[in-house]
Amino acid sequence: MSLETVAANRSFGGWHKRFRHHSTTLGCDMVFAIYLPPQAEHGPVPVLYWLSGLTCTDENFMQKAGAQRMAAELGIAIVAPDTSPRGEGVPDDPEGSYDFGHGAGFYVNATHAPFDKHYRMYDYVVSELPTLVEASFPVSDARAISGHSMGGHGALVIALKNPGRYRSVSAFAPIANPTDCPWGRKAFTGYLGEDETAWREWDTCALIAEAPERLPLLVDQGEADPFLEDQLRPQRLAQACERANHPLTLRMQPGYDHSYYFIASFIDEHLRHHAAALRR
């Protein structure tokens, strides 16, 4: 697959670059960003895949999280895909809402028309994008995954469904139980249809019970998050992990909300968490 350079910026001795490519999985052109630390000039480095939340693109995290300084220190590459397929011919929410369609792929493989042709972000993130990245850049197959909100949901689900593929996982304010919150129910109905039993394979709380790998989960959640009770429900995740004896570090952060101010405040700790696992 050919890569078209969209932008390149020097950052903390490394490079932040954006590329466009045609995705056969999604049936459209996609843009992703990669931060290559200075260590990548001397050999392959491990990769953290970052999944963003509703309405976001690759640019939100790369511009607002302030992750490049610590990534350069630790020698970790960061790859940030878009949150959904986009473009002419890619169906969108006919009502134009922010929580479905473009910018809201939910990291599932859609099975319900007309979204099943393009909305396969799970396959894109797990298979197509890493294959492209590992063939095109000086990175290794040592992978970690993290994300925020909808992307936190995606990171947790992807790690749980792919034992051995990721060495670590973390999340900021994840949608922990999407089968039982307004954002998740709307998205799953549109992408997966009305059969709610099919939704369970995309719900962290449902997957925890039968997870074949007990990969420790690191989750930060702001106590002042306006979506805490109705949409995110971290207590459901804590209960599921307790029942399954699955290792979870859930840190409730007083005064923090859902914004990138919150993410920037704790991103260094998450990067260190991933670096420790990626070095093993």
| Segments forming the whole domain that contains residue 150 | 4-279
Q: How far apart, in whole angstroms, are the C-alpha atoms of residue 208 and residue 114?
A: 30
Q: Is 195 tagged catalytic? A: no
Grouped pLDDT means (10 residues each) for the chain, 280 residues:
93 98 98 98 98 98 98 98 96 94 98 97 98 98 98 98 98 98 98 97 96 96 98 98 98 98 98 96
Are β-strands 139-147 and 168-172 bridged in parallel, bridged antiparallel, or unpaired?
parallel
Per-residue pLDDT at 280 = 84
Which residue among the candidates 23, 52, 146, 149 is catalytic per the annotation? 149
Tokens of 252: 């409730």
274 in catalytic set: no
CATH of the domain at 199: 3.40.50.1820
Distance CA 198, CA 190 (A): 12
Q: Is 23 a catalytic residue?
A: no
Q: How many domains does the chain have?
A: 1
pLDDT of residue 1: 62
Catalytic residue among 225, 270, 273, 274: 225
Catalytic residue among 148, 246, 258, 274: 258
Q: What is the predicted pLDDT for the residue at 57?
A: 97
